Amino acid sequence: MSTPARPARPRAAVFDVDGTLVDTNYLHAVSWWEAFHQAGHRVTMTDIHHTVGMGSGRLIDRLLGEDRDRSGDEAVSAAHKAVYATYFDRLPALEGAAELLRALADRGWRVVLATSAQGVELEALRRAIGADDAIHAATSADDVDASKPAPDAVVQALEQAEAPPERALFVGDTVWDVQAARAAGVDCVALLSGGIGRAELESAGAVAVYRDPAALLADLDASPFARVE
């Protein structure tokens, strides 16, 4: 008598959101610039852009230095949230974002969002994407102890999907995304839609790089997702 085949373990398609599914990285850069400006800090836009994707605490540490008076950090973070919130009703999803999530869900992947966004910000991002029917779960800054490049968000996403690292892929747009995924034992597919160059993403360890969600969707059958399937 033959032994019944063991059911395949779930597969997790873990997605960053800002710059990966929604075109918001430069909106964040402008909002952080305004917040720092209000607090009297001179920080260049390009330096801010290269920190987008980190949690607010790590971002402020990197831009202002860890040896500083931290008494104004909460006000800076609050100012960033207030400025960024003015964009909530017009956040632009990147081309192919919703279609990519649905295509993966249709192939049996459990789609999980892993983002530093939280609360009403995450709700606004999900509205912009418009694919809640394809999203299995979402983990935010509220759910983890440390933000990217720490692996906490990716690890939490795998737990939500009940998938092991070798049955998962992470899709992100920043060096911090790649580092977080690798630290969790997950390969990262990177997108150029966040404004970070191909060379930086490949140097960080991205296993493949695409222009945007639409380009990944068009190449899905030849992408790292096909190799895991």
pLDDT in tens, 15-63: 999 999 999 999 999 999 999 999 999 999 999 999 999 888 999 999 9
In the prediction, which pLDDT does 23 show?
A: 98
Same domain flag for 81 and 152? no
Is 38 a member of any domain?
Answer: yes
Q: How many helices (H) and strands (E) does the chain have?
A: 11, 6
In the prediction, which pLDDT does 9 show?
A: 87
Is 80 a member of any domain?
Answer: yes
Same domain flag for 105 and 39? no
Strands 168-172 and 11-15, by their bridges, are parallel
Is 4 a member of any domain?
Answer: no
Same domain flag for 109 and 219? yes
Is 6 a member of any domain?
Answer: no
Rounded to 5 degrees, what are φ and ψ at 208?
-160, 150
Is 141 a member of any domain?
Answer: yes
What CATH number did the domain enclosing 186 receive? 3.40.50.1000
Share of the chain above pLDDT 70, in %: 97
The three-class DSSP label of residue 168 is strand
Paired with 146 in beta bridges are none
pLDDT digits (tens, 9 = 90+) for 116-169: 888 899 999 999 999 999 999 999 877 788 888 899 999 999 999 999 999 999
Same domain flag for 116 and 138? yes
Domain boundary among 86, 109, 126: 86
> What span, in angstroms and rounded, lies between the C-alpha atoms of 222 and 208?
11
Which of the two residues, 229 and 179, has the higher pLDDT score?
A: 179
Cβ-proximal residues to 56 (8 Å cutoff; 6+ apart), any chain: 77, 80, 116, 147
pLDDT digits (tens, 9 = 90+) for 68-123: 899 999 999 999 999 999 999 999 999 999 999 999 999 999 999 999 888 899 99
Is 2 a member of any domain?
Answer: no
* Contact call for residues 206 and 190 (beta carbons, < 8 A): yes
Domain boundary among 86, 109, 135: 86
Is 127 a member of any domain?
Answer: yes
CA distances to 52, 159, 191, 218 from 95, rounded to whole Å, are 20, 29, 12, 11
How many domains in the chain? 2
Domain boundary among 70, 86, 102: 86
- From the list 213, 185, 209, the residue with the least C-alpha distance to 199 is 209
Is 150 a member of any domain?
Answer: yes
> Domain containing 79: what range?
25-86
Same domain flag for 108 and 197? yes
- From the list 17, 19, 8, the residue with the least C-alpha distance to 166 is 8
> What span, in angstroms and rounded, lies between the C-alpha atoms of 94 and 154?
22
Report the b/e string of 106-135 with b at 16+ CB within 10 A.
Answer: eeebbbbbbbbbbeebbebbbebbebeebb
Same domain flag for 139 and 162? yes
Same domain flag for 195 and 150? yes
Same domain flag for 145 and 55? no
Rounded to 5 degrees, what are φ and ψ at 94?
-75, 150
